[in-house]
């Protein structure tokens, strides 16, 4: 904390292009803290598709729940979610949707998942390198089906990795710890939904409310891929 305060006093946090003497880009690290303040999401690769379960964190009863969707359809075969500043995420997701449609028009086929996440990660990296801009304050999770089922997570810096299952946002370390314990590669979509809800229930305790969750999956067993969203009533049947 003392070193961080010293770096701030010396102005190393005034630009995303300035390294501190310890080799840190402080604006990027601040943005990472923003991500950990965001509501959490869990993603799974299943034997029969991919699943994302996201906490919408709706605290106002006046908000129409359907307007607060936190899982975005990028294409018929790809879904995504985010943690952090969701308005930042919207700009990136809009770009991914446009890229997906351009790919369909040009090649008459859906875009592969890695091409979508790589383009988003490249944009995020650029915003850690150029003056006059700030990093995107958002971590992205993208799941989809092409030749196989895939799940990627991209951080603030523009790095991205493929996962069998992962979590982003608030309490992500605790969520991942439970995933490492209970996730199985052969699990089905329904089993993943049950596991995801049970993990959130354990982490959130008395604050758990199934009505504040958004869930979607894509089945790899269907010939024509499509995004299936689950409303509150459908989610309730997966509660243990």
Q: What is the full DSSP assignment across 26-45?
A: HHHHHHHHHHHHSPPEEEEE
Q: Mark the ranges of the chain whose per-residue pLDDT is less than 70.
A: 1-10, 240
217-186-46 Cα angle (round to 5): 15
**Confidence (pTM):** 0.92
pLDDT at 17 (0 to 100): 80
pLDDT at 203 (0 to 100): 96
Domain count, the chain: 1
In the structure encoding, which two tokens stand for residue 45, read together? Answer: 């690769």
CATH number reported for the structural domain that contains residue 91 in this entry: 3.60.20.10
Whole-angstrom distance, CA of residue 233 vs CA of residue 169: 25
Share of the chain residues as helix, strand and coil, in percent rounded to the nearest 5: 40, 25, 35
Longest alpha-carbon distance in the chain: 59
Domain range for 23 is 2-236
From residue 139, alpha-carbon distances to 74, 93, 158, 183, 201 in Å are 16, 12, 9, 22, 23
pLDDT at 10 (0 to 100): 66
pLDDT at 63 (0 to 100): 80
pLDDT at 85 (0 to 100): 94
Phi–psi pair at 88, nearest 5 degrees: -65, -40
Whole-angstrom distance, CA of residue 144 vs CA of residue 153: 12
pLDDT at 9 (0 to 100): 46
pLDDT at 6 (0 to 100): 62
């Amino acid at each position: 904390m003392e070193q961080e305060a010293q770096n701030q006093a010396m102005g190393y946090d005034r630009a995303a292009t300035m390294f501190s003497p310890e080799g840190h880009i402080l604006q990027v690290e601040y943005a990472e803290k923003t991500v950990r303040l965001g509501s959490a999401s869990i993603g799974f690769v299943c034997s029969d598709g991919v699943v994302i379960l996201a906490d919408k964190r709706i605290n106002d009863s006046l908000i129409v729940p359907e307007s607060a969707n936190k899982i975005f359809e990028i294409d018929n075969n790809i879904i995504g979610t985010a943690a952090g500043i969701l308005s930042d995420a919207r700009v990136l997701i809009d770009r991914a949707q446009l890229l997906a449609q351009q790919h369909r028009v040009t090649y008459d086929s859906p875009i592969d998942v890695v091409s979508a996440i790589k383009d988003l990660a490249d944009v995020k990296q650029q915003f850690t390198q150029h003056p006059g801009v700030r990093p995107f304050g958002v971590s992205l999770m993208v799941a989809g089906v092409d030749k196989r089922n895939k799940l990627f997570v991209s951080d603030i810096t523009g790095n991205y990795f493929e996962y069998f299952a992962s979590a982003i946002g608030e309490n992500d370390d605790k969520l991942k710890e439970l995933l490492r314990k209970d996730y199985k590669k052969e699990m089905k979509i329904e089993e993943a939904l049950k596991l995801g809800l049970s993990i959130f229930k354990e982490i959130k305790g008395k604050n758990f409310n199934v009505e504040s969750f958004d869930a979607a999956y894509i089945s790899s067993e269907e010939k024509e891929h499509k995004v299936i969203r689950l409303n509150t009533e459908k989610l309730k049947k997966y509660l243990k």
